[in-house]
A and B are shown apart, each in its own frame.
Chain A
Amino acid sequence: MEHTELLVDYSRAQFALTALYHWIFVPLTLGLTFIIAVMETIYFKTEDDKYKTITKFWMGLLAINFAIGLATGIIMEFEFGTNWSNYSWIVGDIFGAPLAIEGLMAFFMESTFFAVMFFGWDKVSKKAHLTSTWLVAIGSNLSALWILIANGWMQHPVGMTFNPDSARNEMDNFWEVIFNPNAVSKFLHTISSGYVLASLFVISISAWYLLKKRDTAFAKKSIVIAASFGLISSILMLSTGDESAHQVALNQPMKLAAMEGLYKGEDRAGIVAFGLLESEKEIGDEKDPFKFMFEIPGALSFLGYHDINAFVPGIDDLILGNKEHNILSVKEKMVIGKKAVTALSDYKKYKKSGNTEEMNRALEIFKANNHYMGYGYIKNPEDALPDVALTFYSFHIMVGAGSWFLVLFILVLYFSMKNEIANKTWLLRLGVVTLPLGYVAQECGWIVAEVGRQPWAIQDLLPVGMATSNVATTSVMITFWLFAILFTTLLIAEIKIMLTQIKMGPEGH
């Protein structure tokens, strides 16, 4: 069943819209829950009521953020069915499991203890309350774990075989799915980036109070906790980012090439520190891909393969093939893939008519060509190329911003320790304005991960064009716009409420 391009585009747009909105709220929840748990732990140990006020204030902001994150999350789960129904069948046997486990292990934990955290101050003991707060933090991060196992599997499918009778992939090794190296590095990178964002959130608001010279004692206490948490998280984020890139190099070479705008593969490939892409550049031509750029030599080979001299294949090599490095062209893979697709339908046909001999022959052909089956659904070789500009710029904004966050945390912590933070107006201003950049970097990270792997819904197995539901394009257009209006309506309310709460401050004035 082939789909029109417009249907695929709208299905992707709707999922991207939901994911981007969802991701405005989730990283803050992932990190802020831990920061709050640390704050409450200090209150529990010191019995200093100031820390109770601090805990309750940040908890109030968390609640405003939490509800809308939850709402957008449920849609994503159901959208796999509503908009990606072929996908749901073809890989549901593997993909459904982590989603169900997430519900059972994480959602109930979050929602049960969330109620205690907010309404239980006078109903349960201090210790039980503190435990609940920690369980909310653990629960929300567990939820991220299972979702990222699912996402990591899409980037690097493992632990399954294709069953020609049911015409789907079936799980044969649960442990491989869970301990998929791609999923592990993705999980650690994602949660640590969430902690960084939450730290920026607390720093930004505290810095604003300090600039306004109000609630200074509260702000100073908050900012120290956030900067310390942010510094540790940044280091974790940068090191897991390195591992993520290594995983991309191993399993998604096209994404790596797009991230760096690398067309002609080379040994000792460099990383572009900054540069402007040439928009006229086509696959296989001799044009320079960059209008200008500044490169760090050997860095990409090192990042991708942990070897400064390693060969990094470029877009031209991956699409047109490179005999020297044993890389098949997309065209060759398409021929193999089409053989598998045809053999599978022959297998079905002969099975139905009871022709065992032909059926077994078709099965043999299928098995011999099945590894590139996904390419059998690709129409043109250039369709295997993701949007280079979007991937390249998103990647560079993310890395640049991430490096700046580390510097910011060091500076804020340094001046807080010297008790000079309140006078460093320039730093406080930087602290306030960095928060939007934090959100931009978060979204960029997902753009790199998801746009960079196009056209694949499941890497090399299932292109998005084959994965969508068989519904009318107009239906998806209608729901896309309805979602866009609804999310925006709710986001406006969320931001306005949040800002008002911040202005009211911890004492509620």
Chain B
Amino acid sequence: MFELITLQQYWWLLVSIIGAMFVFMTFVQGGQTLLYTLAKTEDERDVLVNSLGRKWELTFSSLVMFGGALFAAFPLFYAVSFGGAYYVWMAILFCFIIQAVAYEYRKKPDNVYGQRFYEILLYINGTLGIFLIGVALATLYSGANFEVNEMNLSHWTTQTYGLEALLNPFNLAFGLMLVFLARVQAALYFLNNIDEESITSRVKKVLINNFVPFLVLFLYVFGTILFQTGYIYDSETGKVTEESMKFLNTFLTHPSLLLIILAGVGSLLYGVYLGLIKKDTKAIWFSGLGTILAVTILLFILGIHNSVYYPSLADLQSSLTIENSSGSHYTLSVMSVVSLLVPIVLGYIVYIWRSMDATKITIDEVKSDAHHY
């Protein structure tokens, strides 16, 4: 029904949106790193953990969904990146295995390793986990060391299997940017979700301490993306060539995309302003929407306008594009029909979220609930 290229772009957009939603949902991870900053007593800490504990599985599911969508729609990326940047993805996996159990086991009697152990696991997940995901995402712009042969089988050209990405300042900045963003979102989320003056009064300081470095890193990352030399492919021959200021050109050709990014950033700034000055409960919705808009567009531009979305530093012609790495026309069509479920899923998540969060969490509530984390 639809042309292959339309489906490829549609799926790239969907992957971008899912990725952006995941980035928003990492407020859970951000919150996990603030357990000893925002809370000073054990009761306060329990409230934080329980507030996050009702959301962590959604973040986790978003990550799984991001992986699943990439596998179904762009299997060559799945094969090349996961099977090549082996150590980075494995380290990310380790950071997420330890999260799942930490909530449930932290307060349980006879948990063998003690409460602090599980809090450290949460901290590792919130810092290293998010940082590494940021580094991995950054390589979509900065490139990676792989080669793809004529049978579309791939191999990595360095023995460090992805860890070499840590030597690139842009990748590092991208990773750190996500960590600070997660902490900013977490502070705003707590403002929305928790009704304890002792905790919310500390939000202001956390916001300033994390928003400033975030902003600096964002300006550096965004500036680099705009002005860096990008790569484009010829849709007839598939040949990849360099283009200076590729993404700036994309924005100039499609100013609406630039406007959406700017609106996203504006919304994020407004959210932070609401949280900082007015301690407004609604702040998270503005910062969240802003994050989703901005990240979606940042990812989306990699898949349009003949852009390469995963440049190879080892062999430019091995670079991945939405055209040379996607599923077949038939599979993308089937999956596009399946994707009609997305609004339904989003709908019930929002509905449940609203009814569960109709009243804010308090210390008393956590104490009275038999099944608390």
Contact = CB atoms under 8 A, between A and B. Distances in A.
Interface size bracket, A side: 35 or more
A97 interface: yes
B235 to A, nearest CB: 16
B180 interface: no
Contacts of A110: 57, 61
B159 interface: yes
B371 A74 contact: no
A28 to B, nearest CB: 14
B144 to A, nearest CB: 14
Interface stretch (A43-51, A269-277, A494-502): A494-502
A112 B58 contact: yes
B34 interface: no
Contacts of A70: 57, 60, 100
B334 interface: yes
A403 interface: no
Interface string A460-499: 0000000001111001000100100010011011101101
B112 A492 contact: yes
Interface string B301-334: 0000000000000000000000000011011001
Interface residues of B, number: 77
Contacts of B57: 70, 110-112, 114-115
Given A103-B61, A107-B65, A108-B61, A71 B78 contact: no
A352 B150 CA distance: 10
Given A97-B331, A101-B338, A82 B86 contact: yes
Given A89-B75, A101-B338, A119-B356, A171 B161 contact: no
Contacts of B331: 93-94, 96-97, 170-171
Contacts of A63: 104, 371
A155 interface: no
Interface in B234-280: none
Given A59-B371, A471-B86, A115 B54 contact: yes
A111 B103 CA distance: 14
Contacts of A469: 83-84, 86
Nearest to A492: B112
Given A1-B153, A490-B101, A99 B108 contact: no
B82 A104 contact: no
Most buried by A among B86, B154, B156: B86
A408 to B, nearest CB: 30
A168 to B, nearest CB: 7
Given A89-B153, A104-B65, A486 B72 contact: no
B174 interface: no
Contacts of B78: 80-81, 85, 88, 92, 96
A85 B90 CA distance: 14
Nearest to A501: B108
A426 interface: no
B147 to A, nearest CB: 10
Interface stretch (B202-210, B291-299, B341-349): B341-349
A344 B339 CA distance: 35
A108 B153 contact: no
B87 interface: yes
A472 B54 contact: no
B167 interface: no
B79 interface: yes
Contacts of A479: 86, 90
B83 A482 contact: no
A182 B371 CA distance: 41
Contacts of B103: 67
A296 interface: no
A507 to B, nearest CB: 11
Contacts of B155: 1, 470-471
A504 B109 CA distance: 10
A88 B83 contact: yes
B114 to A, nearest CB: 10
A116 B352 contact: yes
B83 A496 contact: no
A68 interface: yes
B153 A470 contact: yes
Contacts of B154: 85, 89, 470
A138 to B, nearest CB: 13
Given A56-B370, A99-B68, A470-B156, A92 B108 contact: no
Contacts of B216: none
A163 B327 CA distance: 12
Nearest to A89: B79
Contacts of A124: 355-356
Most buried by A among B101, B161, B359: B101
B219 interface: no
Interface in B53-88: 54-55, 57-58, 60-61, 63-65, 67-69, 71-73, 75-76, 78-84, 86-87
B328 A163 contact: yes
B65 A103 contact: yes
A121 B368 CA distance: 12
A168 B152 contact: yes
B80 A82 contact: no
A246 to B, nearest CB: 29
A261 to B, nearest CB: 37
Contacts of B113: 489, 493
B222 interface: no
B153 A67 contact: no
B24 interface: no
Interface string A110-152: 1111111011111110001000000000000000000000000
B89 A82 contact: yes
Nearest to A352: B150
A96 B327 contact: yes
B151 interface: yes
Contacts of A233: none
Interface string B135-157: 00000000000000111111110
B72 A99 contact: yes
A113 B99 CA distance: 19
Nearest to A163: B328
B345 to A, nearest CB: 5
Interface in A53-71: 56, 59-60, 63-64, 66-68, 70-71
B41 interface: no
Interface string B352-373: 1001101100000000011100
Given A71-B100, A89-B76, A174-B334, A111 B152 contact: no
Contacts of B93: 74-75, 78, 82
B83 A81 contact: yes
Given A78-B89, A170-B331, 10 more contacts: A85-B80, A92-B71, A96-B331, A100-B72, A103-B65, A110-B57, A111-B58, A171-B328, A470-B154, A497-B112
12 contacts: A81-B89, A85-B84, A97-B331, A97-B335, A97-B338, A100-B335, A103-B67, A104-B342, A108-B349, A112-B348, A113-B352, A171-B328
Q: Which 9 pairs from chain A and chain B are nearest by CB?
A: A85-B83, A81-B82, A92-B75, A111-B57, A469-B83, A71-B100, A96-B72, A96-B71, A100-B72
Interface of B: 50, 54-55, 57-58, 60-61, 63-65, 67-69, 71-73, 75-76, 78-84, 86-87, 89-90, 93-94, 96-101, 103-105, 108-113, 149-156, 159, 161, 327-328, 330-331, 334-335, 338-339, 341-342, 345, 348-349, 352, 355-356, 358-359, 369-371
